Structure 1
């Protein structure tokens, strides 16, 4: 079994180290073939597309705020078209916008499902990206993400955030088999380590069993892997170590 697109990089990981042109040059040189975009890159999509073409990179997935899509959907879809984005992903809700009970999360799920229908009608895929707060247990024993995903929404699973919430990624992959469209490839440090990097680790240096998780993700339907670190002190170091692991999992290195 193979991941169809194993070598994508969430360029948000490099946001503290501008300019974007140098970020793209670096990740392309390391061997990444695609990036995942985020909000700052939609202001001038034509210019961004020129940079992607310059470094032979694609952008099959992009992160978009739900509020931004609801207020300026056509502008963001146009940016996605220019950049070649195939799947638009909502990755976050500001704390003030999060629900506190089942009814509230169901209402958010309904908003997401409405947006799903609208963007799918224009030829895009649509998905949710989890953190840890959306795994919170609610008053009826359900979790917020169950109401977020509803019956149709695809899921880009951030395996490390899921594990940090205390949940079992393998169980959720089984439960949502066929709806996991992709994964974020990141690792958790041991307790007390890497606190200046939010407790994350470079892939292969943390505690997550990625050899087994990789296989399980593919079995669950994931077709793209996006390397990400929320707060690296050195994104080049992270990118190199992530690529080394990805090449092993993708079968390029025995």
Structure 2
């Protein structure tokens, strides 16, 4: 995604530390959220109805993408609306500029009141630039420290470019290895596989860091006979989910749909991917 919760308090930290240090298995299946960018046009035209429809599909949470409908200036109302739909905010996507010195206090106040504790930067071109990536690492580490007293975490979300080669590894590995354990590595599985990398390996490589992960399909070029729908693609979702549970510390699986094959509407495509994910979860 190129544009643009459960509250993660101290109670969650022992589990994260355990996953990071002891690699012990966790039996808790992550909750299921949906990235609202998947249905961005529906959200803009009818925020409440769209959220209600997603709740009726059985989602347990939503991840925001800087669109809040009638609650743009009413985070308390937004939190209450979600609660009435039996939904939680699994996180939010936002740019670094929203957490700069001028905007930090207002941004934190809004998301805290809305019940959001994981703030994820979804896109920054510096992340695959030899000097820019160092700026990204510095920002993530600084924001991690600043957000911690508020019971919040900063995170970063990959695209395929972060897997370009850099200093004998990849930009994504550089970010992971040079940021605090408290910085969330929100893996976008679709982009990881599109880049030719193994998403399971990346969960295992950085234990306890995949607190939230995007389950999205981005078919590698040349793929035949598959669809960009969970369960109709090339990804071993069962192996990935087991890794997320055992090693990743994953609290939320976030379904994201950016392609709508065979004439499906965005809502229909989201529903099909959710059904595919449900079949995977039944195998656990």
Instruction: Give me the TM-score of the superposition, normalised by structure 1.
Output: 0.86
Answering whether residue 118 of structure 2 is matched by residue 87 of structure 1, we say: yes
1:229 aligns with 257
CA shift in 2, pair 1:203/1:34, >3 Å? same
- State the distance in 2 between where 1:231 and 1:65 align: 23
Q: Secondary structure at the match of 1:208?
A: coil
Answering whether residue 158 of structure 2 is matched by residue 130 of structure 1, we say: yes
Displacement of 1:187: 2.0
Judge conservation of contact 1:3–1:250 (CA < 8 Å) in 2. no
CA shift in 2, pair 1:193/1:136, >3 Å? closer
1:187 aligns with 217
2:19 aligns with none
Structure 1: segments with no counterpart, 5+ residues:
none
Q: Secondary structure at the match of 2:159?
A: coil
Provide the aligned length of Structure 1 versus Structure 2: 245
- State the distance in 1 between where 2:188 and 2:217 align: 10
Stretch moving more, 108-117 or 34-43? 34-43
Displacement of 1:217: 1.9
Displacement of 1:99: 5.2
Stretch moving more, 52-61 or 201-210? 52-61
- State the distance in 1 between where 2:222 and 2:173 align: 31
- State the distance in 2 between where 1:8 and 1:184 align: 9
- State the distance in 1 between where 2:36 and 2:223 align: 24
Displacement of 1:184: 0.8
2:103 aligns with 72
1:35 aligns with 62
1:107 aligns with 135
2:38 aligns with 13
- State the distance in 2 between where 1:211 and 1:62 align: 26
- State the distance in 2 between where 1:131 and 1:106 align: 17
Q: Secondary structure at the match of 1:230?
A: coil
Judge conservation of contact 1:2–1:250 (CA < 8 Å) in 2. no
Instruction: Give me the TM-score of the superposition, normalised by structure 2.
Output: 0.77
- State the distance in 2 between where 1:137 and 1:191 align: 19
Displacement of 1:28: 0.6
Stretch moving more, 36-45 or 106-115? 36-45
Structure 2: segments with no counterpart, 5+ residues:
1-25
Displacement of 1:15: 0.3
Deviations 1:43-100 (A, max 9, x none): 322443343234221103111211211141111111211211121111111x4x4552
Displacement of 1:31: 0.8
The one of 46, 57, 67 aligned to 2:87: 57
Q: Secondary structure at the match of 2:258?
A: coil
Matches within 5 A, 1:196-211: 201-211=228-238
